[in-house]
Structure 1
């Protein structure tokens, strides 16, 4: 009886396996690619429309060449029939899409079909994404003015570091550039830029980017120091500047005035450099004017580059009575 039962169970198992062990379909490598002429870091989309149990894309760049697969190069499995890829270097690349099918039982009888595209990638990048200078303990980022090629790097005259003021020596600092190309060349004042070169950030510099493709774009880099009062007093008492360690454009001037001083009627005297102006709520304020510190007004010092009126640096001023 046990032997008969075992034979019956084996037969059922063979029938079940026979139903699951379907032969592989014939693979059809049918696909489209959105672009065959790209710039570096521009994505191309590949859409698969054929027949396959698995689709692998070989982009053709270093480490992903179908021709070198036996030497260890690898492809990328396509997910849900779509694949996106971009190249970080220029050149000509042979893209191969491999469609594979296999038997459902143990994955046997693998069959494959391929389709290929030739992609040309050119490096025509001349756009600078970021300009900055790393000056311990801070990193200062330049601003690109709207609808222009003018960058403005704003620096303080001093930094707060380890709870003390340290003079920032703008005359000798390094510059850094972020650009989406390893092939584009950057020139500062017609000299090839290097990350280890020191630059005088008290001066305006001409920046030129030349792409591998041959295109050229010119920029200007302006550097301004956040403005300060050369001297300032309230009711004849000199102010003491207290800097913010985190907000370089925030300057607090403290005044030790007699107890009971009327904060609604104070006489402000100051001296500033020729290219700096002092504003209260956006209106220019002259030295010797009366101010009311109870009104919560906004005080600013604004410096403007003599050669470009759009290039400005603004310090937010706070008057504090001790």
Structure 2
């Protein structure tokens, strides 16, 4: 396989709103043709990052965050709420989906979780730490999460992002996050502190975070056979970052956005995360007037979700299953939705 060339971007944008304005700008830039394939190494100030489909009241201790001036920002990608500080680092790999998938000889986007998981496992091996991939999107050590990832399919562009726990303040994380019991129902844990682990706990005290970052970059380059060259943002990217920061990420309406009204909410854990099904139902004839999902699930794509909402609007409950089975979702995602609607039907029958 002939090596391809990517940019290595190691900027110093640590303020959360600007940090994610840069993330979205790079994704849009790849689609527009103004951004080359890029591996971005990300650092940041202590902050809380909310998944794009999450209700802000679901997983965050807002009182604690407000009292302690901890910034909250809604990400542009799916997944759960995370607390980040100087003890962790993230990366994002931006590329043209068609080109890179062809280069890797893959078709299913979920295959990337496995490939990047292998890179993390190999990185940890270099520090004499045995880790394993925990599907769909985590890497664990002794059943505790040390790494998680998410990704976005955006027209012709794609980004895969990962977060690595090196020496995060887990006590502070525990205070900031308040996940539902469903999140850990299949893990055997009851709180955040029991669920995660720092690499710093497992290695020689002389190991620095920068050592891990450099080893990750090296293994990423070798694993995918990519030549990386350090380069900064270009002028077009800088303009787009400024625009997205001013018009989107610096506005509270983005992070604290309101979801539509619903009369029924049911929840279930799927392989891709917790799915909360919110439905506004006309109970006189059992017709769905509105439907939307919240949660930390890894969505197939934003366009497929919008199609799901459109297809089910004004649909009788007894015809939902047939329509869901035709959707371009994974079987697990479809089966979870069907079970959630069955729960709504069952609760409706019990109330009659």
Q: TM class by shorter-chain length? A: under 0.3
Q: Which has the larger radius of gyration?
A: 1
TM-score normalised by L of structure 1: 0.26
TM-score normalised by L of structure 2: 0.25
The structure in which a higher percent of residues are helix is 2
The structure in which a higher percent of residues are strand is 1
Name which structure has the greater RCO, CA cutoff 8 Å, separation 6+.
2
